[in-house]
Amino acid sequence: MKKRKVVLTEDEMPRQWYNILADIKMNPPLGPDGNPVGPEQLAPVFPMNLIEQEVSTERWIDIPDGILDVLSIWRPAPLIRAYSLEKALDTPARIYYKYEGVSPPGSHKPNTAVAQAYYNKEFGIKKLTTETGAGQWGSALAFACSQYGLECKVYMVRISFDQKPYRKSMMQTWGANCIASPSSETKAGRAILEKDPDTPGSLGIAISEAVEAAVTDESGQTRYSLGSVLNHVMLHQTIIGLEAKKQMEKIGEYPDIVIGCAGGGSNFAGLAFPYAYDKINGKDVAIYPVEPEACPTMTRAPFAYDHGDTAGYTPLLPMHSLGHTFVPPPLHAGGLRYHGMAPTVSQLIVEGILEPKAFGQIATYEAGLLCARTEGVIAAPETNHALACVVDEAKKAKEEGKEKVILFNWSGHGLIDLAAYDKYLSGQLEDFAFPAEDIEEAEKVLESYPKPEILKSV
């Protein structure tokens, strides 16, 4: 029998996260007055222990036992050799993936949800608010809050709320309260509904609602939680890549190419940042974040200062952005719809350490089907973007006759996203080329803000 999986024991779980801020220069987040925001300005939104992590430049940060205890429900996650996919593609490439679908909510997201719930609880917070798009983040935070006895309120993008009732059922099963966004409960929500009562909603709008709900709560014991984009989220996800490195080492492998899908950047960063660290230190490794052609943040949008949310409540972040007023095309079924990209991922793109790729949604579902019928796992629509790139690279390796080692992150399973597979299987999915006018529109939205410096750390 061939060995498919490389597993670690619980004792071998990493005890520290890797912080990329130790190794790159960053433009600071800016407040409404155009000056860098200080930690105290973020205090109404996040607990101070997480703010300290957000700005820390320590390279290694200890993972508290209270977090490891909960992560050990499903971690360490397996590293799996995709023999069946390799065979189907008749490629000389050796393909490995980290499988993050083994967590209770079915994705990588609880790696940070658990950490965030833990630090909020330690700080004396009683309730967390958040947004969710497809519903994975909302269910991850609902799960994490249930582990630590916190209340949880989730603003779910309207179109997903209507199309994905089972994600809402998961959140409620873990004890969270989930409502459709925009809602009439917040000023931000009411303003959008007044202008456009039939809006499908967007992540940017839902973030505005969740932030507003946290900072206007009079008890002072509510904070907001974000599932991607921010530095501390990327930090918590690095357990993926640190495990992968140990696992690859056990079998004497090192990747030539590291691949992950990127919406806000967190699962990608989780796998890739420990390898970006090697690359910064001279190692030869190609690192590809992958996005949909329908929301081309990394491959076509400007690197600019922009808000993380539609109402403009958040500080200005230096990132690739389609503009905070972006509403994704409703026919896009692949997730990864956020208008911005993690500032750390954006900075590494500017530095040339990462080389972003984009795929049309038909190619992503083709790859998803091929993997379901070979590897067996039905991938999340987001993961399908990574799969499309993996298939592409494996075919290139075949053409070039090279034994490339490809490592990618299988960020989650798609068992709650089967409606999108139905659409693909019944021929209802179309590719959507993002119009050039919309990039110009984004540039106009961003024109009035300060420009980030093009910093080079490497």
Q: Do 240 and 77 form a contact (C-beta atoms < 8 A)? A: yes
- Ranges assigned E (strand) in 301-396: 303-307, 316-320, 357-359
User: Residue 37 or 341: which CB sits closer to ligand PLP?
Assistant: 341
Q: Do 302 and 442 form a contact (C-beta atoms < 8 A)? A: yes
Minimum Å gap between C-beta 357 and ligand PLP is: 14
User: Residue 265 or 343: which CB sits closer to ligand PLP?
Assistant: 265
User: Residue 135 or 222: which CB sits closer to ligand PLP?
Assistant: 135
User: Residue 19 or 107: which CB sits closer to ligand PLP?
Assistant: 107
Minimum Å gap between C-beta 417 and ligand PLP is: 9
Residue, CB closest to ligand PLP = 412
User: Residue 107 or 238: which CB sits closer to ligand PLP?
Assistant: 107
Minimum Å gap between C-beta 268 and ligand PLP is: 6
Contact residues for ligand PLP, defined by CB under 6 A: 107, 109, 136-137, 228, 261-268, 336, 380, 382-383, 411-412
Minimum Å gap between C-beta 232 and ligand PLP is: 13
User: Residue 248 or 345: which CB sits closer to ligand PLP?
Assistant: 345
- 3-state SS of 118-176 is HHHHHCCCCEEEEEECCCHHHHHHHHHHHHHCCEEEEEEEHHHHHHCHHHHHHHHHCCC
Query: What does 59-116 look like in DSSP terms, one character per residue?
Result: SEEEPPHHHHHHHTTTPSPPEEE-HHHHHHHT-S-EEEEEEGGGSTTSBSTHHHHHHH
Minimum Å gap between C-beta 364 and ligand PLP is: 12
Minimum Å gap between C-beta 446 and ligand PLP is: 21
Cα torsion 248, 381, 387, 90: sign? positive
> Distance between CA 216 and CA 69 in Å, rounded?
33
User: Residue 29 or 227: which CB sits closer to ligand PLP?
Assistant: 227
> Distance between CA 230 and CA 265 in Å, rounded?
9
Minimum Å gap between C-beta 47 and ligand PLP is: 21
Question: Cα separations (Å) of 340 from 8, 100, 166, 343, 368?
Answer: 35, 23, 27, 9, 25
Strands 127-132 and 5-6: unpaired
